[in-house]
Amino acid sequence: MSTNRPLQVVNSSDRSTDLSGIFAEYILGKRFFSWDEFEKSLAEFQKLSYTHYVHNCSKTIPDARFKYAYVGFKCTFGVNRTRPGLKLKNKSSKCCNCSSSFRVVLHYSEYIIASHNMVHNHPCSRVYMQNDPWYRRLTVEEKENIEPLLQQSHSSDEIIMHVKEKYNKDITRIDVKNMKAAVNKGISSRRDIFEFLKSRGKLMEYYSDEPIRNSLTRICFATYEQMELYKQFPEVVGIDSTYNTNKGKYSLFQLLVTDNFGRGRPVLFAWTRKEFKRDVVWILDCFRQIMEDTSKTESFIMDCAQAEIAAVKLTHRQAHIVLCSFHVCRAFCRKTRNPIVKNYLCRLVQCKRRSEFNFYFRVISRLDANVSQYLQRRWMHRRELWAACFRDNVLTFGNDTNNRVESSHKQMKRFLQRSDSLHKSMLKVYKWHKRSFSIIQQEANIAQSRCFTYPCSQSLIPIIRLLTPYAARKVIREYQLRRWATVEFESFDYVFFKENGNTVQVDLSACTCTCFTFQTCRYPCRHLLLVHFRKPYFTGIFAFL
């Protein structure tokens, strides 16, 4: 039976099943001198006949041996739990008005069957019993065994297959959802959620007297997996905030790093009531305390928010600041309606030569003097933050926009609601992170097991095999551009190339290059590849990888 769609019961009055024979063997043919003996035989009968009987009426007595004076049992498919007269939505029900029932009565010192009707108007089979939640129910021990899987796995199909293989029970996605809700029911309050998050990572809180005394205004959290991830890729960090994630109106900050597949992955979450400079400074201070050492971070990529720029300058003086080119272009284009000026403004931000930068600025000055004055007054004194040609030695891994953080915000907001409380929103963020982290790990394992074929020279294959598919495509592109570089001068320690009128220097001892690609992306550029193929003794490129 497929578990991808809800189970349905079809009223089939023409299909009748008579279980009088098996009922006479397991129930009528035995004597029961206690209620426990009767329950044991009834459970065996229900297991063999694929039926389930529930209490219809009963009368209890104060006796440990005999718990009931009488009990009326009725087939579970004959019990309609919706009271008549209620106007409810039409939903599929398992009830098919089955009339099968029997009555157990205490007669002196034993239980006897007073009456019984074993004719069912539905099939008594394992497939049909999947409509009854009781048949799909797991025992207490079975639930305890799969509780770690319920907390870690985000795939219902994986849990369904695990239960099917281990316990031979067919559960549905609704059952998995209910079991997950029962597992997480114990961590509903703020205190419980904070304790839960502290057991999974490091959580820092800040209380202030504004707007009310001793109110929680700032929270910072990172899991142990995020700490290890930052230690692997600490060079470039993106920071940005988003809104409308909780009813407390806390802003959600994310700090992301770029892994070797070119993906942005969060390493820190923070919630603040405001986005002033002191709030961002507190977040970055917590970032340093949690990660223990952030001196290896070379660049911070962010939008044009002045609070974030000032906070990074204060807490990480050694790091470079890279403003998102998209946000800078949008800020420039707000000052004019001329599409030609807008085009030159975007070229001004993205050009990689200073001569082109000066040319585009002169053109903009002739076309619109107001925009030129605005740039001179607000942006030219810090052009190394946003102009690509003035930060050719700043590491960005080839991405000078904040799109990786924005994309992470978009994916996360699918799991959040504005009506969520702060602690509930934090728990959802943690679950989203665990789910995305496991998916990325699976994708990385699949990529390592695959054998990729690249359209390149056979001499490049030993280098390509050491790279991820993302980096391999970049290196192949650099290898295709090698024809534009010519050797100008060559010595034992250095090789100088001439390319588009510029001189590029390769240091053989340090395996470094002064070109724009190597300085900003840190993967083998075309100059290092040419040196590797020209000099057989130059093996520094393998040590670099």
- Picking from 186, 214, 246, the residue at the C-terminal end of a domain is 186
Q: How many CB atoms lie within 10 A of CB 383?
A: 16
**4 pLDDT band (50/70/90 cuts)?**
very low
pLDDT of residue 542: 58
Question: Are 365 and 319 found together in one domain?
Answer: no
Residue 321: per-residue pLDDT: 95
Q: What is the pLDDT of residue 5?
A: 36
At 332 the pLDDT is: 95
Say if 387 falls within a structural domain.
no
SS3 content of the chain, % helix, strand, coil (to 5): 45, 20, 35
Q: Is residue 448 part of a domain?
A: no
User: Judging by DSSP bridges, how do beta strands 299-302 and 236-242 pair with one another?
Assistant: parallel
User: Which CA distances in Å does 104 have to 27, 29, 67, 74, 120?
Assistant: 10, 14, 12, 11, 19
Q: What is the pLDDT of residues 33-79, one digit of tens each?
A: 999 999 999 888 888 888 888 888 889 998 888 889 999 999 888 77
| Res. 25 pLDDT band, cuts 50 70 90 | confident
Contact 311, 281 (CB under 8 A): yes
Per-residue pLDDT for 87 more than 50? Answer: no
95 pLDDT above the threshold of 50: yes
Q: Residue 159: pLDDT band by 50, 70, 90 thresholds?
A: confident
Indicate whether 169 and 114 sit together in one domain: no
User: With pLDDT > 70 as the criterion, what percentage of the chain qualifies?
Assistant: 89
Average pLDDT over residues 321-333: 94
Q: Is 133 exposed, middle or buried (0-12, 13-18, 19+ CB in 10 A)?
A: middle
Average pLDDT for 358-385: 95
Higher pLDDT, 385 or 135: 385
Classified as helix, coil or strand, 90 is: coil
Q: Which of 110-114, 141-145, 152-156, 444-448: highest mean pLDDT?
A: 110-114
Please indicate, yes or no, whether residues 411 and 481 belong to a single structural domain of this protein: no
Domain range for 354 is 326-376
Helix (H) or strand (E) holding 120: strand 119-120
Mean pLDDT confidence for 17-27: 87
In-domain check, residue 43: yes
Residues 71 and 34 in one domain: yes
pLDDT-derived band at 82 (thresholds 50, 70, 90) equals low
Does the pLDDT at position 209 exceed 90? Answer: no
Residue 262 lies in a domain: yes
Query: Which CATH number characterizes residue 253's domain?
Result: 3.30.420
Strand order across the beta sheet in which 320-323 lies: 201-208, 215-223, 264-272, 251-258, 236-242, 299-302, 320-323
Residue pair 487/496 in contact (Cβ under 8 Å)? The answer is yes
Residue after which a domain boundary falls, among 186, 218, 253: 186
Asked if residue 114 and residue 147 are part of one domain, the reply reads no
Last residue of a domain, one of 120, 155, 186: 186
Are 164 and 115 found together in one domain? no
Contacts of 491 (CB under 8 A, 6+ apart): none
Q: Which pLDDT band, with edges at 50, 70 and 90, does 17 fall under?
A: confident
Measured at the CA of 378, the angle between CA 377 and CA 384, to 5 degrees, comes to 115
**Which residues, other chains included, contact 138 with Cβ-Cβ below 8 Å and sequence gap of 6+?**
146, 163, 167, 169, 171, 179
Q: Do 201 and 232 fall into the same domain?
A: yes
Selected residue with higher pLDDT from 149 and 203: 203
Q: What is the pLDDT of residues 476-504, one digit of tens each?
A: 888 888 888 889 898 888 999 998 888 99
Residues 314 and 361 in one domain: no
Predicted local confidence at residue 1, as pLDDT: 38
Average pLDDT over residues 238-254: 92
- Residue 3 in this model has a pLDDT that exceeds 50: no
pLDDT of 330 strictly over 60: yes
Residues 6+ apart with CB under 8 A from 47: none
Read off the pTM: 0.68
Verify that 43 and 132 share a domain, yes or no: yes
pLDDT of residue 538: 64
Residue 233: the pLDDT is 93
Q: Looking at the domain assignment, is residue 3 inside a domain? A: no
Instruction: Tell me whether residue 204 is in a domain.
Output: yes
Structure tokens at 513: 């290059």
Can you tell me the mean pLDDT for 455-475? 83
Same domain for 279 and 418 = yes
Q: What is the pLDDT of residue 544?
A: 58
Q: What ranges make up the beta strands (E) of 32-117?
A: 53-60, 68-75, 101-107, 110-117
Residue 432 lies in a domain: no
What local confidence, expressed as pLDDT, does residue 311 receive?
A: 95
For residues 366 and 252, membership in a common domain is answered with: no
CA dist 72 and 84 (Å) reads: 22
* Mean pLDDT of all residues belonging to the chain: 85
Per residue in 505-540, pLDDT (tens digit) is: 999 888 889 998 898 888 889 998 888 888 766 666
| Whether residue 246 is found in the same domain as residue 343 | no
User: Tens digits of per-residue pLDDT, 273-312?
Assistant: 999 999 999 999 999 999 998 999 999 999 998 999 999 9
Residue 122 pLDDT exceeds 90:
no
In a domain, 8, yes or no: no
- Output the CA–CA distances (angstroms, integers) from residue 316 to 272, 500, 519, in the order listed: 20, 36, 20
SS3 244: coil
Tally of domains in the chain:
5
